[in-house]
Structure 1
Amino acid sequence: MNIIVCIKQVPDSTQVKVDPKTGTLIRAGVPSILNPYDHYALEKALDIKAKTGAKVTVLSMGPAQANAVLRLALALGADEGVLLADRALAGSDTWATSYALAMAIRKIGQYDLILCGQMAIDGDTAQTGPGIAHHLGIPQITFCESIDANGNQVVVKKLIDGGHQILEADLPVLVTMTMPHDYAPKYPSFMAAHKAQDKVTLTWSAADIAADPHKIGLEGSPTRVDRIFPPPARPKGEMFTGSAVELADKFVEILKKESVIK
């Protein structure tokens, strides 16, 4: 079985700032991490690899510094890494990004299962995975908490309103993974990271994947972002101490002051 996992390097969400003049994210000097949803998807791929001997290839799109998340994935157990790095891809929205990733997947060649994180924490659109499936013309199952390979099929636990669905799908298929509430990402040991330095990584341009220049970057992006701005700062909460009776009286006093009760 050949598994491709699409991963993304994202800014640490707790330290993202917005340029007040341009309305764009300030990425310079901001620590970057492997998108947590993609991290979880990678771990699920590696679980399947441990059971079936599958080959796991990680694919990312971004600047040269995104090699860091490829190296992390290789240290965790992935077999090969591919980075799409080209100025022509800059400014791609989710549609153009999914097109470029689909073209890269076609160049990679044989695949049975494609795993993506549910969404990237710097965008929260959950559109790229489904977009890849559309461009490739393969089935997709989204918002899955677990996945298992069963011969020529996968069995997934899909999150839905009020519960879950257990679904089966024939290969090839694309699945997007969502994290359980208690998920804690795994990280490689020093020795695993050292050994991973010998694993293969490739860097491809838009030309290498035969991408149509009119379908990538800003030109190929139908979405136009008017502006990005942070939410207004919330005032700090006020802390009170005292006995249960004193705190209850204080709570009632505040509710009356705010006209919640009379």
Structure 2
Amino acid sequence: MTTTSFEFPGRWVEGAGLVLGPLLMLAGVLLRVDFEDFFPGQLAAFAAHPGRMTASYSVFTAGNVLLWPAVIALVRRAWAAQPRLALWGGVMVMFGLFARAFHTGINHLVFQIADAQGVEAGRHAVDGYYGAFHVLQPLSIAIFFGWIVLAAGVWRAGVLGIVRSAALASMSALPIGVLKGTGPMSIVATLGLCVALAPLGMRILKDGPAPRWWAYPLALGVGVAAVLLGMAG
């Protein structure tokens, strides 16, 4: 029986996640930088600027999703020298990304409530949610410590230098929860993530042959089809 090995998820997915994930998260926080960062202010901003706020939360969510291959890329490169730090840092961060995705679903629902029934109805929905238990609640804590542990692992393994590792660890300061606006630490954290990961992603993307010419229109076509199917329900 012949077996083959494959470094999941592959160079192109890892590189794209390392570059686009941080940039999209930074764009998301900057799009709502001039609004109050607590949820009543975020709902008021949505009522006044629905397109801008939808874009802000959408690109932030896309960036969060794209971080999973970025985390795997870091773990794989740190594993040989720092297996424990790579393992636990990667696991905690990945679990935390699921928690952020859970919160983005709530954000979307609350925005739809505010759009259909008014801002006050959206505010009451969030008021009723705060403090309610859900199974992913403990993972909000995991991501805070996970970025620090992962940063220590990639620094000690020589994957990132001390400055970029510290920039990666700054992601532990990024607030997590429902309708979190942009504060100073949101900008510091997402900018630090760009500094830490984007150069590595560019290096990975350049380290090998380019995709075939037909891969670009194929990827675009699949993406458009996925969006249209999703909107169709």
TM-score (normalizing by structure 1): 0.25
Name which one, 1 or 2, has greater alpha-carbon Rg.
Answer: 1
Question: Quick check: which one's strand share is greater?
Answer: 1
Question: What TM-score, normalized by structure 2, do the two folds share?
Answer: 0.27
Q: Bigger relative contact order, structure 1 or 2, given CA contacts below 8 A and separation 6+? A: 2
1 or 2, which has the higher helix percentage? 2
